[in-house]
A and B are shown apart, each in its own frame.
Chain A
Amino acid sequence: EDQVTQSPEALRLQEGESSSLNCSYTVSGLRGLFWYRQDPGKGPEFLFTLYSAGEEKEKERLKATLTKKESFLHITAPKPEDSATYLCAVQAIGSARQLTFGSGTQLTVLP
């Protein structure tokens, strides 16, 4: 059974204080790993897809990396507007219809 575990559950940072969110996964064969951002009262917003170990993607202050067991979402010099819940999901080979989601990391960036 595919599993995704995100840590920490919640993270409070001061503005400008860089940190990383972790997504550990167990999947029979990885087709893709997805990162989403979800603001309160909104649906998840797609950020990145990673397909193979060693791959990295960047967008503004966010950088996602992937190994064979986990993915990290690095946040460099965060701003209060980066506050949101960040969700990680995996899609297994042979199960293209299914995304298995983690429970998310709730990030709060204080001014």
Chain B
Amino acid sequence: ETGVTQTPRHLVMGMTNKKSLKCEQHLGHNAMYWYKQSAKKPLELMFVYSLEERVENNSVPSRFSPECPNSSHLFLHLHTLQPEDSALYLCASSQDLRGEPQHFGDGTRLSIL
């Protein structure tokens, strides 16, 4: 596989469930990102990891918990989500944090019941 792969592509969960989103990049990049994309709104950066170290957390509620076990994998653990958390969650990677373009996966469409 090439590029950035996200699983699952679709997820429906109740407000009390716990689930995880997975992202894997096959580009040899050192930085990975989680974004939230809601209808008619710009992409919102959630978290940034560089060489497995979290370097950015954009005031994201604690019900979202990221994990980066190595430079190729990124997870977003979800717990006790709210209906307003329904959105497309996108993972991206870049070579480094010095202005190289980010390459995105196709996202996980999350629906909270």
For residue A7, CB closer than 8 A to chain B, the reply is: no
B55 touches A97 (CB 8 A): yes
B48 contacts the other chain (Cβ, under 8 Å)?
yes
Residues of A within 8 A of B103 (CB): 46
Contacts of B102 in A (CB 8 A): 34, 46, 99
Chain B residues, Cβ within 8 Å of A34: 101-102
Chain A residues within an 8 Å CB radius of B40 = 103
Q: Which of B4, B41, B45, B109 touches A98 (beta carbons < 8 Å)? A: B45
Contacts of B101 in A (CB 8 A): 34, 46, 49
Question: A42: CB under 8 A from chain B?
Answer: yes
A43 at the interface (CB under 8 A from B): yes
Whole-angstrom distance from the CB of B72 to the nearest CB of chain A? Answer: 17
Q: In the complex, which residue of chain A has the Cβ closest to the Cβ of B109?
A: A41
Measured CB to CB, the residues of A under 8 A from B are 4, 31-32, 34, 36, 41-46, 49, 51, 87, 89, 91, 96-104
Residues of B within 8 A of A (CB): 4, 6, 31, 40-43, 45, 48, 50, 55-56, 90, 92, 97-99, 101-107, 109
